[in-house]
Amino acid sequence: MAKTEVILTHNIVGLGGESDQVKVAAGYARNYLYPQGLAIPVTGANKRRLEVLKQRRGERESHELTTMTELSKSLSKLICVITVKTGEDGKMFGTVTTGMIADQLKTQFEVTLDKRKVHLEHPVRTLGEHEVELRLHADVVTKLKIRVESSTPPPTLVPEAPAEGRREEHRTEKRGKRTEAAPEKAEKVEKVEAGDRKQRVIRSEKPARAEKPRRSEKSE
């Protein structure tokens, strides 16, 4: 297969960066790179454009480095919440993926990040907080905290009344029974007192006995 040498005018993944001089298949250059404006043939005139391309590349890379450095500082202070489905035992269905993290960064913080920049050293399979690595640039690597939460609400447990509370309720019931019995006792006491008063009145109404004359008065 015939090869030809070209100068890249844009970054092409797997091929090279802007201003790089690379060899590619002639058909690939003729049918794709040249029509898309991604490369130019190596000629005397085009070689003179290399300095311009290198300068433009340097400015772009410097801007990217500055942007990613500032972004890394912001991301390191955030906590990205990932909501997952779990079973009754609290275990997750599946794992947290790099695509899920990139989507939530876009939704929660309006940060657009290629999921290929998110690197998981170990699969995230448990709820709670975890740290993932973000490779934002060749010279910029940072950590992002994620908190994995369940979308299934936990079962609500009704707390049992403490033993002290149950004793207090029992005492209150006893007091209530005593209070209810008190009026009956009071009524009996009143009846007894009323009966005593009635007997005293009856005794006071009986006529007094006549006194017997003395012996001296009889002799006279």
Q: Write down the pLDDT at residue 50.
A: 83
Residues contacting residue 105 through CB under 8 Å, at least 6 positions apart: 75, 80, 111, 112, 113
Q: Write down the pLDDT at residue 220.
A: 40
Do 76 and 105 touch, CB atoms closer than 8 A?
Answer: no
Give the residues of the chain that fall short of pLDDT 50.
181, 201, 216-220
Length of the chain as a residue count = 220
Express each pLDDT in 82-120 by its tens digit. 999 998 887 888 899 999 999 999 999 999 999 999 999
Domain with CATH 3.40.5.10 in the chain: 3-70
3-70 placed in CATH 3.40.5.10: yes
Q: Write down the pLDDT at residue 110.
A: 94
Q: Write down the pLDDT at residue 93.
A: 87
Q: Fill in the DSSP letter of residue 31.
A: I
Q: Is 39 exposed, middle or buried (0-12, 13-18, 19+ CB in 10 A)?
A: buried
Domain with CATH 3.10.430.100 in the chain: 73-150
CATH number of 73-150: 3.10.430.100
Amino acid code (one letter) for 57: R
CA distance 162 to 118: 50
Express each pLDDT in 171-196 by its tens digit. 666 565 555 545 555 555 555 555 65
